[in-house]
């Protein structure tokens, strides 16, 4: 979908959309996923998408993968409580506070999940050429069984899960729509990897906001 131009500011009166709560799907051998499609109304998601596209500090940072530094195939930004740090692939991302719209969204995500989150990683997939490869969110600072809450805005994209090496299980797929909320929980990260593959027919941007609780 297109990120439309609507007046600001963003307010959160329609969060969460009570008609769209979902129950967790269990993914043997371990972990759960809850997907709520219309967590934000489409209007609200479109306004927030535009606001974040214009106001966040999107950069293409290099990451250390397979023994070399390469540009990430997407743009990112990071926010969190002062003093928080999230490290992956050679990057040390540090929290320095919350821009207004992300602070409001964090409250809404906390209300929905009953969890606290002290960081948000923001991913901007400029079009279907941008992607994120197979990985698990298993960094030490996330703790043993992290709860990760992921908000999608803009173009719909496929989100795939596959069992980690040595594990049995069928691949799973969710199409992450604008305004949706996906929550990964339990021991999912021990048993499964996930990715956001390329989608060459997609010309529109997608923003993904991934809320995590990291230890200091
Ligand atoms: O863009 C997405 O939906 C996936 C993001 C993700 O897996 C991550 O930030 O670790
Ligand atoms: Mn991830």
Q: Per-residue confidence at 209, pLDDT binned at 50, 70, 90?
A: very high
Residue 8 pLDDT exceeds 70: no
Cα-to-centroid distance, 208 and ligand 1 (Å): 7
**Which DSSP letter does residue 97 get?**
B
Segment among 15-19, 21-25, 31-35, 80-84 with least mean pLDDT: 15-19
What's the predicted TM-score (pTM) here?
Answer: 0.91
List Cα–Cα distances, 58 to 39, 122, 127, 134, 144, in angstroms. 25, 9, 14, 22, 30
Residue 45 pLDDT exceeds 80: yes
Tokens of 177: 């729509």
pLDDT digits (tens, 9 = 90+) for 156-205: 999 999 999 998 989 999 999 999 999 999 999 999 999 999 999 999 99
Q: Which residue has the CA at smallest separation from atom 8 of ligand 1?
A: 210
Cα-to-centroid distance, 144 and ligand 1 (Å): 19
Cα-to-centroid distance, 20 and ligand 1 (Å): 22
Residue 56 pLDDT exceeds 50: yes
Question: Can you list the domains of the chain with their CATH numbers?
Answer: 18-212 (2.60.120.590)
Ligand 1 atom nearest to CA at 123: 1
């Amino acid at each position: 979908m297109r990120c439309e131009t609507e007046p600001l500011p963003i307010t959160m009166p329609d969060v969460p959309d009570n008609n769209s709560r979902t129950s967790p799907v269990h993914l043997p051998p371990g972990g759960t996923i809850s997907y709520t499609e219309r967590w934000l109304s489409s209007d609200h998601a479109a306004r927030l998408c535009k606001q974040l596209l214009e106001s966040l500090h999107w950069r293409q940072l290099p990451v250390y993968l397979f023994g070399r530094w390469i540009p990430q195939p997407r743009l990112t930004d990071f926010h969190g409580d002062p003093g928080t740090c999230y490290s992956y692939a050679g990057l040390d991302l540090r929290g320095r506070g919350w821009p207004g719209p992300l602070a409001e969204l964090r409250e809404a995500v906390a209300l929905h999940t009953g969890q606290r989150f002290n960081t948000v990683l923001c991913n901007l997939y400029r079009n279907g050429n941008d992607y994120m490869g197979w990985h698990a969110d298993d960094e030490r600072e996330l703790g043993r069984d992290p709860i990760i809450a992921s908000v999608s805005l803009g173009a719909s994209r496929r989100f795939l899960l596959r069992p980690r090496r040595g594990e049995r299980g069928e691949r799973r797929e969710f199409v992450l729509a604008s305004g949706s909320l996906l929550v990964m929980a339990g021991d999912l990260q021990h048993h499964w990897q996930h990715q956001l593959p390329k989608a060459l027919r997609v010309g529109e941007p997608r923003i993904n906001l991934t809320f995590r609780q990291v230890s200091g």
